[in-house]
Structure 1
């Protein structure tokens, strides 16, 4: 019995996923929750085949096919629910109006509800709190990895543009110098009149 209570905090679900959502496509996932279970979905768009938008549409449909949450055109977000009753929650990432393929990283984690929490020993409650805090640290690290990748891609893109702009400027400068030499040379040419 005591082993069950010690392992219960570690039953909090924690998955890290990375998916590719094609242009005009929608990918959906679901979780079955019991009454008072808590679930959180955090997501972030970490890349796109086009050099522009990093946005995605996120929607959640609860039990009875009722839409409970929607977030359109955002590059990141968090959604949390404490289930009022047992049922299936479906969450979808949609790239219906976007252009290009998008890479989405998302985490799903939750806590199962325990009815007799006041009967738990203080050590067991502390273990649950530590497990929850550890999950928050893991989520923050995943978020930082994605942000670092986005910033690195932006820096590499900017560096490439600066390099090509410098090459174009050098070519233009050499062209203008060549034209100036030719023009000045034409002033000093001796013109013969016959």
Structure 2
């Protein structure tokens, strides 16, 4: 009985290692795309491999970006124009290097901060036998990846909201200071005007 438990434990450990190093690809990145520039990345995929790219603009300008994903022949498989957030999922139809780019060429001044995740699953043919527990582990890993992506999206969104709140507070502060200066200036001018008016009257 103890031997069976040990063998099951070793088997599960082996499947976790296989899951971590062979069937799935997960990567999270944070980049800054300069004004009037673009940043491109590549993934080498085989036919029937799956890949998903999710992104979120965290700061800069109107917090939007152009994005596209193309196959080895340059055919666009997904394209977004001036989006704050987005996701593109593909299943490779041919072997080769797939390119995805973030473009800030529409902006001549503002740099953009972009957070993105890339995750995919290496295709396993129907003729390859997969144990039910391995299939469950793969489904669990995909679910955990989705949760991780959502958490990173929430972090970026919280950062955006915090930056917006701080910017609003700063504008309110400086507007209040400007109003106070204008108020004192108007009061000072009124006092000076009334004083000069009464002085003229007294001379007459």
**TM-score, normalised via structure 2 length:** 0.85
CA deviation after TM superposition for structure 1 residue 120, in Å: 2.2
Match of 1:175 among 185, 192, 200: 185
CA deviation after TM superposition for structure 1 residue 155, in Å: 0.7
Q: Distance between the aligned counterparts of 2:197 and 2:119, measured in 1?
A: 79
Q: Which residue of 2 aligns with 1:164?
A: 174
Count of residue correspondences: 189
CA deviation after TM superposition for structure 1 residue 118, in Å: 7.5
**TM-score, normalised via structure 1 length:** 0.89
CA deviation after TM superposition for structure 1 residue 7, in Å: 3.1
CA deviation after TM superposition for structure 1 residue 134, in Å: 0.6
Unaligned runs of 5+ in 2: 1-10
Matched, 1:153 2:160: no
Q: Which residue of 2 aligns with 1:20?
A: 32
Match of 1:90 among 80, 89, 99: 99
- Partner-residue secondary structure (3-state), 1:133: helix
Instruction: Give runs of ≥4 in structure 1 deviating > 4 Å.
Output: 2-6
Q: Distance between the aligned counterparts of 1:20 and 1:168, measured in 2?
A: 35
Match of 1:184 among 170, 173, 194: 194
Q: Distance between the aligned counterparts of 1:76 and 1:25, measured in 2?
A: 19
Q: Distance between the aligned counterparts of 2:54 and 2:16, measured in 1?
A: 27
